[in-house]
């Protein structure tokens, strides 16, 4: 078991020194977006001040430097998820765009009425709405894997849904509400046994877990840079090379073409075939810096730290009778809860009064909340720079909020 030096890590995140309402910031909204270390900001700054130019366009020094740096960013992602080649790494704006790319580029051509797609009840809207689009436009059947009462997947129900008509299974590796880690390797094996492809939404796993796309054998994987210390506006779609070569481009225009004639066009090589127009070059370079930062600490160490924080906090929350928790014991550092008699939004506002940033609402997972019979939750989510002292202050503030609410109700 490894242990990370949180005090040293926190020095790399200037925003953690900020005060909110006279209180030092405690940032527990990492499932929405993480903070950035100065190393990532410096990488982006250095690009813009020393190397800024468009890629694949010029023969001058700046363009060649920018091209090399951007391509190195693809190679860094390839190593991070253990893809076979960096040609399998496509940069998008975010997880949402990556999933939509597959829905349009794969689904429109490959799927036909009567084909079936399987997702889960716990999906983020980004891994639900694109498949609903295919259902509405092309008559595809969309099935949802049921959940057990603790929020884990009902794998027996999943097995019952699989058939020769199943063409795609698309599931979250980790739930952004429950923190549950889904058994994706088993899910993928069962899907492949009936000839279906599998897309893994890794938006909540890439920041916290060591990923290996060859080991789990997924066909596609999508995740975002901004949840893993990287810049906003940069995401990743991994796809097996043979599948990407078969697929049509999602967007069409500059840099994704090999040749254009009046009669038509032919497409560029991978991954540029799917990266139309001027890319988010600085974002890619910033993502590379974020990956290097995470790898220097160690993904296994990061996960162990977060898991310990989550377990510690959950045990404290269980002692508060007014609090109801959602999700299983084994999870990443995501904790969603409700407080009896107090709306999640009021909990969030009261937390912010003491400088504690949490998330409230449905977290872009309305069907999941409907499954539990609630409209929303409050969510605290941890990352590598959070401390047990911050967890204690979060618990202390929650007890204050509950006590204040009772006092008001009595009056």
Q: How far apart are CA 86 and CA 223, in angstroms?
A: 16
- CA angle (238 as vertex; 235, 244 as ends), nearest 5: 120
CA distances in angstroms from 193 to 54, 91, 185, 188, 350, listed in the order given:
44, 30, 12, 9, 50
Do residues 268 and 255 make contact, with C-beta atoms less than 8 angstroms apart? yes
Q: Which of 202, 182, 179 is nearest to 314 (CA)?
A: 179
Do residues 142 and 168 make contact, with C-beta atoms less than 8 angstroms apart? no
Do residues 237 and 243 make contact, with C-beta atoms less than 8 angstroms apart? no
**Residue 364 is a catalytic residue:** yes
- Return the residue matching tokens 């609630």: 374
Q: Which of 176, 155, 223, 210 is nearest to 331 (CA)?
A: 176
Residue among 2, 218, 301, 364 flagged as catalytic: 364
Q: How far apart are CA 238 and CA 342, in angstroms?
A: 42
Listing DSSP states for 247-302 in one string gives: SPPSS-STTSEEEEETTEEEEPPTTGGG--SS--HHHHHHHHHHHHHHHHH-HHHH
> So which residues are the catalytic ones?
364
């Amino acid at each position: 078991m490894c242990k990370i030096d949180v005090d040293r890590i926190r020095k790399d995140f200037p925003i953690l020194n900020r005060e909110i309402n006279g209180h030092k910031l405690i940032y527990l909204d990492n499932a929405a977006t993480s903070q950035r270390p100065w190393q990532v900001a410096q990488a982006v700054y250095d690009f813009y001040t020393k190397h800024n130019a468009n890629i694949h366009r010029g023969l001058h020094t700046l363009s060649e430097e920018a091209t090399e740096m951007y391509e190195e960013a693809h190679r860094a992602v390839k190593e991070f998820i253990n893809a076979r080649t960096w040609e399998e790494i496509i940069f998008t704006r975010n997880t949402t765009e990556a999933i939509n790319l597959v829905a349009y580029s794969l689904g429109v051509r490959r799927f036909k009425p009567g084909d079936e797609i399987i997702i889960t009840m716990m999906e983020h809207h980004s891994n639900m709405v694109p498949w609903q689009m295919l259902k509405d436009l092309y008559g595809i059947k969309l099935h949802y894997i049921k959940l057990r009462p603790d929020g884990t997947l009902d794998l027996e129900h999943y097995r019952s849904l699989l058939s020769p008509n199943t063409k795609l299974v698309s599931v979250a590796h980790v739930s952004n509400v429950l923190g549950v880690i889904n058994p994706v390797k088993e899910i993928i094996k069962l899907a492949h046994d009936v000839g279906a492809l599998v897309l893994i939404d890794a938006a909540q796993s890439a920041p916290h877990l060591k990923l290996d796309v060859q080991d789990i054998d997924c066909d596609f994987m999508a995740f975002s840079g901004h949840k893993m210390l990287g810049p906003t506006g940069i995401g990743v779609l991994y796809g097996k090379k043979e599948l990407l070569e078969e697929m049509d481009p999602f967007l069409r225009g500059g840099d994704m073409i090999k040749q254009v004639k009046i009669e038509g066009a032919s497409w560029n090589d991978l991954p540029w075939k799917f990266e139309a127009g001027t890319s988010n070059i600085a974002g890619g370079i910033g993502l590379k810096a974020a990956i290097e930062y995470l790898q220097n600490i160690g993904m296994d160490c990061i996960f162990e730290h977060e898991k310990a924080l989550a377990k510690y906090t959950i045990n404290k929350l269980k002692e508060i009778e007014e609090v109801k928790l959602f999700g299983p014991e084994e999870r990443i550092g995501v904790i969603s809860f409700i407080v009896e008699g107090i709306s999640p939004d009021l909990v969030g506002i009261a937390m912010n009064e003491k400088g504690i940033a949490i998330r409230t609402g449905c977290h872009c997972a309305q069907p999941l909340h409907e499954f539990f019979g609630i409209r929303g939750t409050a969510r605290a989510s941890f990352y590598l720079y959070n401390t047990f002292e911050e967890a204690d202050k979060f618990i202390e503030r929650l007890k204050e909020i509950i006590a204040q609410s009772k006092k008001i109700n009595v009056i």
